Structure 1
Amino acid sequence: MKLKNTVFEDIEIGQSAALTRHVKMSDIAGFAALTGDCNPVHLNQDYAVQTPFHGIVAHGMWSAAQISAVIGTKLPGPGSVYLSQDLKFVAPVKVGDVITTKVTVVDKDYNHGFLTIDCQCTNQKNEEVVFGIATILAPTERLVIDIETPEVRLVDGLC
């Protein structure tokens, strides 16, 4: 996969990028194994049906990771540094949902090279599931790089 960034000077307020993912149980299980967050609401259907969610839900931070993916691969792209975030998790994300993650530049700090980015994740019904703001240190050097998508096999997960 070829990744290309957009440097600070070329980024415009209002510029946006998005990524869409279909949520699979393997995404949730993999996230649990990698992070050690083995809360049964994410992994055990018998338990999860008894919760207010009525079934397994993805980790909230899985959605936050999608925001990071858009920032790190699309806008600004490679070379970006994620400095801070303030997110609200307003609806559950379930297996089978189609989540579209969109980031939009809302401010530029020319003194420090920071971007303020509006972040939003919506499901297939266009319902907002996560929203918030992130601060990003934008790259100053143009970069085009070939990246191989890693193949991950979990043998000794934390769960």
Structure 2
Amino acid sequence: MLDQNRHNHPTGTICIEDLSIGLSRSLSKEITDRDIELFAEISTDHNPVHLDDDYAEDTIFGGRIAHGMLTASLISAVIGEQLPGHGTVYLGQNLRFMAPVRPGDRVTAEVTVREIDYAKRRVSLDCRCTVGDTVVLKGDALVLAPSAKFD
């Protein structure tokens, strides 16, 4: 049974028996200065391109950008909360960073089922993050999905 959390997207678990190719889930989040500051603290990545306006102005980005892994963490949120959801075990993730995410950007992370190995409970997922029509991150993930048989 799915419920609604404070971000108004479904959370819970979709067991492997209920997954299908093409099934997709997403979430959207505005990346704030506070998010970037907190991520710097948590990750210990204090690169000035993320935190220092003056420094960042002189980079190829022409201003501050969010950590790439902060953007990627939204993929993890979709996988862990929605698709497949609670009980999912990450086995691998490939990422390509296509464009910068800036403070104030609204990122949409989307995960789509590409392949299902029911016998091994493995699910291959296509992953992407967009800001408007711009793909800022794309990749794929391999996860071990929860099963109704093991509850």
Over the aligned positions, Cα root-mean-square deviation in angstroms equals 1.3
Q: Secondary structure at the match of 2:29?
A: strand
2:146 is the alignment partner of 1:129: no
Displacement over 3 Å in runs of 4+: none
Give 2:36's aligned residue: 28
Answer yes or no: is 1:107 the counterpart of 2:115. Answer: yes
8 Å CA contact 2:125, 2:142 repeated in 1? yes
Q: C-alpha distance in 1, partners of 2:60/2:71?
A: 19
Aligned residue number for residue 77 of structure 1 = 85
CA distance, structure 2, for counterparts of residue 34 and residue 93 of structure 1: 19
Of 6, 9, 13, which residue of structure 1 is paired with 2:17? Answer: 9
TM-score by length of 1: 0.86
TM, length-normalised to structure 2: 0.90
How many residue pairs are counted as aligned between the two chains? 141
Tell whether the 8 Å contact from 2:17 to 2:148 is kept in structure 1 after alignment: no
List alignment gaps of at least 5 residues for structure 2. none
1 or 2 for the larger relative contact order (CA 8 Å, sep ≥6)? 1
Look up the SS of the partner of 1:19 in the other structure. Answer: strand
SS of the aligned residue for 1:130 comes to: strand
Q: 1:141 Cα shift?
A: 3.5
Percent identical pairs in the alignment equals 45
